[in-house]
Amino acid sequence: MSPREPGFETRAIHLGQEPDPGTGAVVPPIHLATTYRQEGVGRSQGFEYSRSGNPSRRALEVQLAGLERASHGFAFASGLAGEDALLRALLRPGQRLVLPRDAYGGTFRLVDQVLAPTGVGYLTADLSRPQDLAQLLAPEVRLVWAETPSNPRLEVLDIGALAQAAHGAGALLVIDNTFATPYLQNPLELGADAVVHSSTKYLGGHSDVVGGFVATNLDWLAESLAFLQNATGAVPSPFDCYLVQRGVRTLALRMERHCANAARVADFLQQHPAVEQVNYPGLPSHPGHELARRQMRGFGGMVSFRHRGGEGAATEMVTLTRIFHLAESLGAVESLIELPARMTHASVAGSDLAVEADLVRLSVGLETAEDLLEDLDQALDR
């Protein structure tokens, strides 16, 4: 009988985090050195220059790749730096990618304003119907990019079906797994070819570090990513790697509470007269609920809703909460509230990805659930 594999929590706490062999310190030290002494020319102990690689970044990459069930992982200075490397590795001028209707605004901006002028084309599609994808996938379409659950409408996409459709047309599938985290969903196991994360969000988890991560099981893609990570140099500092690694040690516990609190918030909002429509995959009324049950281990900590009073009321309401901070970003211990159309998704205004002006997005944090409900209640009632 083969030994049982360690569970998620054990891997999160131990992968890439052996006690320091020199001192026994149970927390690996942060390696600030920019360069590493060589025994002879070209004879290093595995590290030469810190941009190319260092023990702190390696430790984080081993930890996160293990959690995403990937053989290769690469840490970047931000989620967008990781996306940039991945897009450069996968697309040449003349080729195209498919973007979903609902995507992180910065991803759209990167493709539309940085990549497109270099000759890489894109089209947007409703990825909730993977069966329609085949007819869009002309030979020059090399890549399908998807987020699930999506930002900010919390749409759930069928990763397995998208992978099958993409692969059938000779394209690859990338999943932005920032909202779900590897605790709730492992896209590579469902057929995706690469996964990207903004580790600024749940992985770091405390609103104090910006970072990105890319994982894959494709050796050729890993080779290209390793080259680009070094050649373009958008690498995280050793201290930032430490902060993300520290956050990930408690990811499982945090996600359990994020999910529980978000479920309470979604239930509450659904019954509130000032709320028009609640987007949360955990609600049985959500169109992606059954799919999320199959594909995910929990429904996540993000909730969005439309305010019945329209844009004006929504704009006012997000300034009235006392515990939820009005701020961009998500995935940390403290609860945040924002208006996507004017904040996180301002860069998609006027495009196919534009979001409703009365949509409010919540990143439900780890505070006491009753306090969060009371806070939303007083802000909606004013």
Ligand X SMILES: *Cc1c(COP(=O)(O)O)cnc(C)c1O
- State the minimum distance, in angstroms, from the CB of residue 321 to ligand X: 20
Q: Which of 59, 70, 75, 80 touches ligand X by CB under 6 A?
A: 80
The residue range among 55-63, 86-94, 196-204, 264-272 that interacts with ligand X, by the rule CB under 6 A, is 196-204
Q: Is 381 helix (H, G, I), strand (E, B) or coil?
A: helix
Q: Is 205 in the site for ligand X (CB under 6 A)?
A: no
Q: Is 183 a catalytic residue?
A: no
Q: Is 210 in the site for ligand X (CB under 6 A)?
A: yes
User: 291 CB contacts (<8 Å, ≥6 apart)?
Assistant: 156, 157, 158
The residue range among 117-125, 163-171, 193-201, 314-322 that interacts with ligand X, by the rule CB under 6 A, is 193-201
Q: Is 88 a catalytic residue?
A: no
Spatial separation of the C-alpha atoms in residues 5 and 2, rounded to whole Å: 9
Structure tokens given for 217: 């099981």
Catalytic residue (one of 201, 254, 306, 361): 201
Structure tokens given for 192: 């995706």
Q: Which is nearer to ligand X, 47 or 179 (CB)?
A: 179
Residues in binding contact with ligand X, number by CB under 6 A: 16
Catalytic residue (one of 104, 183, 202, 280): 104
Q: Is 152 in the site for ligand X (CB under 6 A)?
A: no
- Calculate the CA dihedral of residues 160, 165, 170, 176 and round it to 10 degrees: -50
What distances in angstroms separate CA 376 from CA 277, 321, 360, one per listed residue?
15, 6, 12
HSE (side-chain half, CA atoms, 13 Å) at 134: 5
HSE (side-chain half, CA atoms, 13 Å) at 242: 12
Q: Is 155 in the site for ligand X (CB under 6 A)?
A: no
Burial class (CB in 10 A: 0-12, 13-18, 19+), 69: middle
Q: Is 176 a catalytic residue?
A: yes
Nearest to 197 by CA among 363, 330, 4: 330
Q: Is 57 a catalytic residue?
A: no
Q: Which of 63, 128, 148, 200 touches ligand X by CB under 6 A?
A: 200
Q: What angle do CA 96, 100, 105 make, to 5 degrees?
A: 100
Catalytic residue (one of 84, 102, 158, 176): 176
Q: Confirm if 193 and 213 have CB atoms less than 8 A apart.
A: no
Site string for ligand X, 292-311 (x = CB under 6 A): --------------------
Q: Is 212 in the site for ligand X (CB under 6 A)?
A: yes
Q: Is 176 in the site for ligand X (CB under 6 A)?
A: yes
The residue range among 53-61, 174-182, 230-238, 354-362 that interacts with ligand X, by the rule CB under 6 A, is 174-182
Q: Any long-range contacts for 37-40 (C-beta under 8 Å, 24+ apart)?
A: none
Q: Which of 17, 151, 207, 304 touches ligand X by CB under 6 A?
A: 151
The residue range among 86-94, 195-203, 334-342, 351-359 that interacts with ligand X, by the rule CB under 6 A, is 195-203
Task: List contacts with ligand X (CB under 6 A).
Answer: 78-80, 104, 106-107, 147, 151, 176, 178-179, 198, 200-201, 210, 212
